[in-house]
Amino acid sequence: MSAEVNPTTLMKQQVGKAASDRVQSGSIVGLGTGSTTAYAIQYIGERLKSGELKDIVGIPTSFQAEVLARQYGIPLTTLDVVDHIDIAIDGADEVDPHLNLVKGGGAAHTREKIVDCLAEQFIVVVDSSKLVDKLGSVFAIPIEVLPLAYAPVMRAVEKLGGKPELRMGVKKAGPVITDQGNMVIDAKFDNIGDPAGLEKTLNNIPGVLENGLFVGVTNLVLVGEVIDGKPNVREIS
């Protein structure tokens, strides 16, 4: 007798499947990072294996996405080979009413922003707990920095009114290191009234590669919810 899958897992699976169903044959697909996006990668692979999808290639946004894509038989390519991306599927840590995002909980936001911004259609997959009235309500803003610059960047963030912390590793001594070999500063701001302005200001600090504010990039959000114990997916665009 198989174990019963809990509603939250079922909901993530359904959101991932709903996103994967939007991928068409012949597409170049940006493959995002995170637990819900992992299901989208799985279902894309299953559609390929069944023959429902043909002639697609993926561009992973992280080592995690690359490993999953290979596991599920999705051919991969790189940005120096292709000149466009048809569709990108990725998660988010926060989504505001204007479909602006905070990303970077998995420290992959630099590669994610490169891929997601190049996509003709960018689909975000989240559960309803990620919906907020204002960005920064729950999550700090991740900032990827060159290791030699982390201290001056933290001082610069403090001058902007932020409360920066160097992200430390779990099950390892020392800081989190990104796929690019850099560090991550998590900056908490009490009130982000102008996400677009803050995104540009943070990126202008010397030593910063990219931050986790994604403004004006998202085309569609697929939100997973558990209603009366049953999983449900709704669209926000």
Is the pLDDT at 126 greater than 50, yes or no? yes
| Tens of pLDDT, residues 193-211 | 999 999 999 999 999 999 9
d(CA 134, CA 131): 9
176 pLDDT more than 80: yes
> How much is the average pLDDT of 173-201?
95
pLDDT level of residue 171 (50, 70, 90 thresholds):
confident
pLDDT at 4: 67
Count CB-CB contacts under 10 A for residue 53. Answer: 21
Q: What is the mean pLDDT of residues 101-107?
A: 94
Query: What's the helix, strand, coil split of the chain in %, to 5?
Result: 30, 30, 40
Q: Tell me, what's the pLDDT at 170?
A: 86
All structural domains of the chain: 7-131+216-226 (3.40.50.1360), 141-208 (3.30.70.260)
Q: Which of 57, 27, 31 is nearest to 42 (CA)?
A: 31
pLDDT greater than 90 at residue 109 = yes
Please check whether residue 77 is in contact with residue 111, taking contact to mean a CB–CB distance below 8 angstroms.
no
Cross-strand partners of 148: none
Q: Is the pLDDT of residue 25 over 90?
A: yes
CB contact set of 97 (below 8 Å; sequence gap of 6+) = 133
Q: What is the pLDDT of residue 10?
A: 87
Please name the residue that has the structure tokens 């001058």.
159
SS3 43: helix
Q: In what order do the strands lie in the sheet with 213-214?
A: 94-95, 101-102, 213-214
Pairing assessment for the beta strands 208-211 and 213-214 based on DSSP bridges: unpaired
Say what the pLDDT of residue 3 is.
56
- Distance (Å, whole) CA 160 – CA 81: 39
112 in catalytic set: yes
Task: Compute the average pLDDT of residues 110-139.
Answer: 95
pLDDT band at 78 (very low <50, low <70, confident <90, very high): very high
Average pLDDT of the residues of the chain: 94
Query: What was the pLDDT predicted at 120?
Result: 97
**Catalytic residue of the set 94, 112, 144, 199:** 112
Give the global pTM: 0.93
Task: Using the predicted structure, report yes or no on whether residue 2 has a pLDDT greater than 80.
Answer: no
Mean pLDDT of 48-66: 96
pLDDT bracket for residue 6 (50, 70, 90): confident
Does residue 1 have a pLDDT over 50? no
Is the pLDDT reported for residue 90 higher than 70? yes
Q: Please tell me the predicted confidence (pLDDT) of residue 215.
A: 98
* Backbone dihedral region for residue 26 (phi beyond 0: left; psi -120 to 50: alpha; all else: beta): left
